[in-house]
Structure 1
Amino acid sequence: MSAANAKTVIKLKLLIDKIQNRVVFAESGKDFVDVLFSFLTLPLGNIIKLIRKQQPSIAIGCLDSLYESIENLDLQHFESEACKSMLLNPRNSSVAECKKLKLNVDDTETTKYYLCSVCSVSFLSTSRNSKCYCGKLMNHEITVQGLGDQTGGDMEGVFVRGTATFLITDDLQVMPMSTTCSFAELKNFGVGDTNILEEKTIDVELEQVETLLSFLLISKTPLSGTFLSKTLGAGTLWLQQENVTQTRNMVQTANNYKEITIKFTVRKSNQKALFAEAGDDFIDFIFSMLTFPFGSM
């Protein structure tokens, strides 16, 4: 295979329990751990977009319904075309770092800057066709020295130090790798007989990284699910959900609290909300959730 056609891979060493067909732990250098940590920087909207394309059977709570609502809403319901675009394709604030990853699932484009070609005020926007303070659209692309994404071959790692080696458990706990893993330490992972263990080194490709992102949303054993060919069936986000018990919500702003009134239509038999009527403040709030980084959850 020529260098031009060679796939980028990351070497990962697995210690496998052959009886239970599970990953006891994995050993890796900086490249794989940087990929894992980068998941926390992804906006929720980008995760939904990726998983809908790769694993459409997975439901990420109600977030995929929220994403679909934005897709289906006509542009007349948004302040501008840019507002809809930035919700469906939210920008990762760590895009410069993620572009240095050996395997990067984030498809955020290189940052571009726009200003209003009519107004003399020099405000910048990273979203084309955002509304300027003068009411016109900011659609004149410019180059800003010193603000471009910094990519390049940093061999010292992206989020972790380049010389470190790490141990990663099946539920993605990451810790520094000791020089030896004693039998007593293996017992902490539920292994009583070392004869059932198998060591295996694999090549991790981008497709497996995307599968791993899907598994970590619905499983407590994402390494086993991804690398031991376990079926990724239909599932839902395992984060605990709570029932809505109030008809008035308080949304905190920078300096005070703003009250948002929501009108519910409730089924009397079981006291469950059928639907709600809300103004633009509440809709803006729930749409903004798609821009939250996954780590902020």
Structure 2
Amino acid sequence: MENRIRLKALVDKRSNKIIFIESGNAFIDVLLSFLTIPLGSIIKLGREHSAQVEIGCMNNLYSSVEEIDVCELRSDACREMLLLPRNAAESHCKNLVLQIYHNAKPTRYLACWYCLKNSTRKFFNYYRGDIAPCGVCKRYTCQEITFSVDGSSAFVKERARLLITDDLQLISPCCTSIVSLFTNLGVNRTEELNLNIGIDEVMSLLISSLVSKTPLSETLLKHKPGATDQ
């Protein structure tokens, strides 16, 4: 069964927009993980979820790399590097409750066996083969290395509790900015809404966050996923 995250949203009834969402570490970590995802991976993920990302001409560039003859590239590994770029924070993102990368193969970290044994300097590579020789001794990377991250939280503390505004600002519940937020929006009628979101909503939120100033409202109020009456 797919994992889901329960959220509590405060909605402006007049404009039917989210003022903020109250969230614990699970959703905050998912949101922060957006900053770690390479652009090429976002375009690929959008295609897999039938939500093509329209960021200028980036889709054209991505499609060109798909179609270019391999003889124009240094190696086929270069195509993989561009179309399936690795997330440098992947080991942290393994702790996320909702995994956008749940179908992706885990990154294999490769290292030069000679430098691992004989040098204080280490050089790591994501790709096997002749794409990137060791930056220290110029031999080719060939020995696999494993990494682990302790704890169940990815980026924030497990007891973290923050408010997330419609334009994805993170605010402390005790922050005086909340008053300014209500004043600037001219809010006078509000309602609480419980939401229960999964992978599809997170993927839509990621794509919406790239092109919209109100991604929470556009994503979570469009179909009100898992909404329950108060």
1:67–1:88 Cα contact (<8 Å) kept: yes
Give 1:134-283 correspondences, 5 Å limit.
Answer: 142-144=143-145, 148-150=146-148, 154-155=151-152, 157-178=153-174, 186-191=182-187, 193=188, 196-229=189-222
Is 1:92 the equivalent of 2:79? no
Q: Secondary structure at the match of 1:209?
A: helix
2:157 counterpart letter in structure 1 = R
Segments of 5+ residues of structure 2 without an aligned counterpart are 117-122, 224-230
1:139 deviation in Å? 8.8
TM-superposed CA distance for 1:21, in Å, is 1.2
State TM-score, norm by structure 2.
0.80
Cα-to-partner distance string for 1:120-164 (whole Å, 9 max, x where unaligned): 887763213334659xx9696x443xxx13256x23x21111112
1:268: which partner in 2? none
Q: Quick check: which one's helix share is greater?
A: 2
| Structure 2 CA distance for partners of 1:20 and 1:61, relative to 1, 3 Å | same
Shift of 1:18: 2.0
Partner of 2:128: 128
Structure with the larger strand share: 1
Deviation at 1:56, TM superposition (A): 4.2
Cα deviation digits, residues 36-89 of structure 1 (max 9, x gap):
111011111001111123244541111111111100001111111111111110
Question: Structure 1 regions of 5+ residues with no counterpart?
Answer: 1-5, 231-297
Give 1:9-20 correspondences, 5 Å limit. Answer: 9-20=4-15
Aligned pairs, number: 212
Structure 1 distance, partners of 2:178, 2:115, is 65
Seen in structure 2, the aligned counterparts of structure 1 residues 170 and 138 have a Cα distance that, compared at 3 Å, is: same
CA RMSD of aligned residues (A): 3.0
Q: Deviations over 1:163-184 (max 9, x none)?
A: 1210111000111112999877
Contact 1:113 1:126 in 2 (8 A): yes
Runs (4+) of structure 1 exceeding 6 A deviation are: 120-123, 179-184
What secondary structure does 2:192 align onto?
Answer: strand
Aligned residues: percent identity? 39
Aligned AA (1:199):
E
Contact 1:16 1:24 in 2 (8 A): yes
Equivalence for 1:45: 40
Bigger Rg, structure 1 or 2 = 1
